[in-house]
Amino acid sequence: MSGLNAEWALAELDKFIQQTVMRNGSSSGGGAVFITSADYTAASDGEVTKQAPVVEQILDRVLPRWRAEVPSDSANNRWARHREAALRAREILVREEEVRANLGDDAPEISAARLHPWAWSGASSLWASGHYREAVSGAARKVNAETQNKVGRRDISETDLFRQVFTLDGAQPGKARLRRMTPEDSDTYRSVQRGAMAFAEGVFAGIRNPLSHEADQELDEQVALEYLAALSVLARWVDESTVEHAGDTA
């Protein structure tokens, strides 16, 4: 898993797995069995509760759909699904290199969690539940909103917003620009500005707009990940750009 400290993650999963071993609440004596309490976990519920948020974040990285796909077979154990998912995630981490080597797939991976924060934060909650179309739409809205915030514009959005902020025209009162590099009379400067404008238009015309008209069609996970990567590129360009206000000198 790209960017994941597997050794640390395994230690945290192992701790949780040990904490959630179920103990029998019955006791015996004098040939009789006495039911003294319900079954309970090896660690106190408070200790397990403290460990659970860390484990959930690991599971979100290793098994993104664990909440929907891992069953909970016990009505008496609130941690049954977490424990089952932790066991699965542990095996994936332990055997990841073995599986990859034997399946012959050493291609680099894209980690959604390592995309630009604007793209991933807008998508993460919906992504975890398998709502990929809405996740991508959420990422697009987030990138749009952060761009508006950066240039102080709320009167325009999406394609029109990016056309105006990346234009080669100078800034005007109330119409700040974004410069991906120091403005200069060079083909390189003109190219990066036009490229950002054209790329943004493609993202919103080719990704964002169709999604808003296809509410009944879910996206394939891989396609959605590629869309998020495109939004991440745009987000990074905006985030790293310098804001030019009217009256600024080159």
Tracing tokens 């941690």 back to the chain, one arrives at: 79
Same domain? For 39 and 72 the reply is yes
Same domain? For 63 and 181 the reply is no
Dihedral through CA 9, CA 10, CA 13, CA 15, nearest 10?
-110
Paired sense of beta strands 40-41 and 22-23, if any: antiparallel
Q: Which amino acid is at 244?
A: E
Same domain? For 130 and 188 the reply is yes
Same domain? For 129 and 204 the reply is yes
Same domain? For 23 and 59 the reply is yes
Same domain? For 117 and 240 the reply is yes
Q: Which residues contact 107 (CB under 8 A, 6 or more apart)?
A: none
Same domain? For 148 and 89 the reply is no
- pTM (global) more than 0.85: no
CA distances from 77 to 23, 58, 83, 188 (A): 11, 21, 10, 62
Q: Pick from 54, 71, 103: which residue ends a domain?
A: 103
Structural domain boundaries enclosing 63: 6-103
Instruction: Report which secondary-structure segment, H or E, holds 40.
Output: strand 40-41
Assigned domain for 250 exists: no
Same domain? For 73 and 119 the reply is no
Q: Pick from 103, 128, 161: which residue ends a domain?
A: 103
Query: How many structural domains compose the chain?
Result: 2
Assigned domain for 1 exists: no
Assigned domain for 249 exists: no
Cα 70 to Cα 120: distance, rounded to the nearest angstrom? 23
Cα 203 to Cα 196: distance, rounded to the nearest angstrom? 10
Enumerate the β-bridge partners of residue 27: 34
Q: Pick from 63, 80, 103: which residue ends a domain?
A: 103
> Which pLDDT tens digits describe the chain residue by residue (250 residues)?
666 888 999 999 999 999 999 887 655 555 554 444 567 889 999 999 999 999 999 999 899 889 888 887 666 788 999 999 999 999 999 998 787 777 765 667 777 888 999 999 999 989 888 899 999 999 999 999 999 999 999 999 999 999 999 999 999 999 999 999 999 999 999 999 999 999 999 999 999 988 888 767 889 999 999 999 999 999 999 999 999 999 875 4
